[in-house]
Amino acid sequence: MSLVLPDEVDIREVGMRDGLQLEDPIPTSTKLELLDAIVDAGARRVEVTSFVSPKAVPALADADQVAAELGRWPGVRFSALVANTRGADRAVDAGVVNLEYVISASDAHSKANTGKTTAEATDAIGQIATRAHKAGGDVEVIVGVAWDCPFAGRTPPDRILQVVKAAVRAGADRLCLADTIGTTTPARLLSLLAEVGRACPGIEIGIHLHDTRGAGQANALAAVLAGVRQLDASVGGLGGCPFAPGASGNIATEELVYWLGESGVHTGLNLSGLHRAATIAENAVGHELPSSLHRALNRRST
């Protein structure tokens, strides 16, 4: 058997948002230094911040200041995460017109995050899509806790199908399935992906993975084999603090780039640049990052 791998995979760097959101706030100037290194490493898609309540996520309270600087990197497609129409308005007003609207597929997680049920959050897609489209951008609907919820356990696939079908009807340009707590596995991932693909034919579906249980890169391989061409990842596996109970990072960008690249799949990103970016991130957050490859590169450079 030989693996049928694609020529190219799009990696969206999410360390600036998902990676930093649970950390203590770092200076905006340091974030911009990190962003510059990420772009320098070849990133062409960056989820750069989220426009959410600064009380809920103090680490991203400087979203407007970060957004104001994005003109420095003209070749990059920037996007921001929003959790409601107010966030979408703020993002567009700040000049970030490509939006990720995240909807938790379990009511328990959705209410804990936004105070709304999944159905209530789903109702807002149309307004958010309209706002993005009017500004010349697009909107991706990310379905959170798509496999498991920390409060409600396994998420019934029907709940995801309701959200994605409504999203497509309401004008979403792209979908993304998020393994928010890092519990999915190759077979479960492909099963849901196939169901969503059947329910929403023709729309691009990305995958957002965390490496909480060590299956992140195996899941990424399964996704790519199944035709997924957009994966989220963060430099160094940022977001995962090995010393913080409950915290866990995205799959590490450099690990993904390593095995994809060595398998002949183009990502546009380079390892030395990612090592530099992860080092900036590591110094900024003040603790070791979980990426095995980052540690291996550190050993090689000492």
Site for a second copy in 255-284 (CB under 8 A): 255, 258-260, 262-264
Under the criterion CB under 8 A, does residue 9 sit at the interface with a second copy?
Answer: no
Beta carbon of residue 68, minimum distance to a second copy (angstroms, whole number): 35
d(CA 121, CA 101): 10
Pick from 248, 242, 254: nearest CA to 294: 254
Residue 302: HSE in the Cβ half-sphere, 13 Å Cα cutoff? 6
CB atoms closer than 10 angstroms to residue 197: 18
290 binds a second copy (CB under 8 A): yes
CA distance 104 to 118: 6
State yes or no: residue 248 binds a second copy (CB under 8 A): yes
Site for a second copy in 187-216 (CB under 8 A): 187-188, 190-191, 194, 211-216
> Is residue 265 exposed (0-12), middle (13-18) or buried (19+ Cβ within 10 Å)?
middle
Of 5, 61, 108, 203, the one binding a second copy by CB under 8 A: 5
106 binds a second copy (CB under 8 A): no
Query: How many residues would you count in the chain?
Result: 302
Least distance to a second copy from the beta carbon of 235, Å?
Answer: 13
Q: Residues with Cβ < 8 Å from 32, sequence gap 6 or more?
A: 66, 69
Active site residue 149: no
Closest approach of Cβ 36 to a second copy, in Å? 25
295 interacts with a second copy by CB under 8 A:
yes
Site for a second copy (CB under 8 A): how many residues? 52
- Identity of the residue, 62 or 211, whose beta carbon is nearer to a second copy in the bound complex: 211
DSSP 30-99: HHHHHHHHHHHTT--EEEEEEES-TTT-GGGTTHHHHHHTGGG-TT-EEEEEESSHHHHHHHHHTT---E
Pinpoint the alpha helices (H) of 94-156. 107-114, 118-123, 125-134
* Residue from 27, 153, 156, 242 binding a second copy (CB under 8 A): 242
Is 80 an interacting residue with respect to a second copy (CB under 8 A)? no
- How far is the C-alpha of 61 from the C-alpha of 50, rounded, in Å? 9
| Side chain identity, residue 211 | D
Q: Is 65 in the site for a second copy (CB under 8 A)?
A: no
* Residues in 156-185 at the binding interface with a second copy, rule: CB under 8 A: 182-185
| Positions that interact with a second copy (CB under 8 A) | 1-3, 5, 182-188, 190-191, 194, 211-222, 225-227, 240, 242, 245-246, 248, 252, 254-255, 258-260, 262-264, 288, 290-293, 295-296, 299, 302
Active site (catalytic) residues: 241
